[in-house]
Amino acid sequence: MGAVLRGPAPLLRQDPEQALAAGRWVKLIGGASNQDLAAIEDLAGIHALAGVHCIDVAADPAVVAAARRGMAWAEARGATRPWLMVSLSDGLDPHFRKAWFDPGRCPPACPRPCERVCPALAIGGTGVVEERCYGCGRCLPACPLGLIEERNQVLEAAGVGGLLAQLAPDAVELHTRPGRLEAFGDRVAQLAASGVPLQRVAVSAALEGGATVEELSAELWARFRLLRGAGFRPLWQLDGRPMSGDVGAGTAHAAVGLLERLGPLAPPGPLQLAGGTNAHTLAVLARSPSAGPRAAGVAFGGVARRQLQPLLREAQAEGRRLLDLPLLWPRALAIAEALVAPWLARGACGPRGLAGPWPG
């Protein structure tokens, strides 16, 4: 007998905009440079069935096709289709890099600390498995001989319009850094010129390079004016501690702390937690009287991938999709639901998560 079909309870199902307004938005971060197609397909299917409102993946045709296959699997089992978001950057960014080294230069007796710290299981005897690496950078300081390099990937301006037209996403995320307003404006102009109707343009930003909260606020307000001038509706992703949600409970405080400090100064638009978010984040948020009412939702990246990794590996060892294995995928769904469901049930009534009056 087949596995029982399940997913979020009907009362917990909300479209993405309703979820943002209610503070229940949940996004899966597939990884801006993650090209592990089998894992992305399985992760997208399981988390769509668990009830996420958005799946954010690399702006790559093969990756997007894999995510859509997973989403179609979930829809066939009663899930509401989440938004498909693709990630771009306005310059060099750790989310868009790959690790690389020549394994021939490694000493034969090396204990391979790089392999032990890699959360993506992307390092083996032949070096870095490029499609699995999503740029977390933990291997860089781990190598005792400093043999590991980072190789950045940035999409050229000329390719943006055609790529977006081909991918037809529901939303785009722009990773930005202080001091790159002109480059950000160029990306916004490219989005507008593509003609692709976007539900939201998410802006991922963090406190970097010694910037103060006030300086970050000024940067976001400048980006807000560019986005609104082009007719886009922003979603602010506050990256408390980038790519660290699978490290431990302590990282859950980073994104909440950033929201506490930045929330009163942020431009209009939903404020979403990211960077260090994990199963502990909601409890930390509940203890914050200032951040709690402002949080529109959360994005899960490393923790969502890591906790399903054993089941993904088991399926791949059989040469099949996790989604096609009735003894495995219900277990994966239960794990994903434990992470996602508390957010879907958050906030009994009333809008929240807006930094200010939202114009339409």
Among 127, 176, 187, 167, residue whose Cα is nearest residue 151: 127
10-93+154-344 belongs to which CATH class? alpha beta
Q: Choose among 207, 224, 206, 199: nearest CA to 27.
A: 199
Please, which residues bridge with residue 31 across strands?
A: 57
CATH 1.10.3720.10 is right for the domain spanning 97-150: no
Q: What is the pLDDT of residues 110-120, one digit of tens each?
A: 888 887 777 76
3-state secondary structure of 326: coil
Torsion of CA 259, 260, 264, 266, to 10 degrees: -20
Domain 10-93+154-344 shares a fold with domain 97-150: no
β-sheet bridge partners, residue 175: 89, 204
Domain ranges of the chain: 10-93+154-344, 97-150
Eight-class DSSP state of 354: B
pLDDT tens per residue, range 125-135: 777 776 677 66
Side chain identity, residue 191: L
Alpha-carbon gap, residue 137 to 247, rounded angstroms:
13
What percent of the chain shows pLDDT beyond 70? 84
Q: Compare 357 and 243 and report the one with higher pLDDT.
A: 243
Q: At what angle do helices 37-50 and 61-75 cross, to 10 degrees?
A: 40
Q: Could you tell me which residues come within 8 angstroms of residue 27 by beta carbon, excluding any fewer than 6 positions away?
A: 52, 53, 54, 55, 56, 85, 272, 274, 297, 298, 299, 300
Q: For the chain, what is the radius of gyration of the CA atoms?
A: 20
Distance of CA 107 to the CA centre of its chain: 36
DSSP annotation of 147 reads: -
CA distance 84 to 55: 5
| Residue pair 202/115 in contact by the 8 Å Cβ criterion | no
Sign of CA pseudo-dihedral 134, 140, 144, 146 = positive
Question: Which tens digits make up the pLDDT trace of 37-85?
Answer: 999 999 999 999 999 999 999 998 999 999 999 999 999 999 999 999 9
234: helix, strand or coil = strand
- Report the SS3 class of residue 295: strand
pLDDT tens-digit series, residues 4-44: 455 565 546 689 999 999 999 999 999 866 778 999 999 99
- Give me the residues paired with residue 57 across strands: 31, 86
Query: Residue 315's pLDDT is what?
Result: 96
pLDDT of residue 97: 63
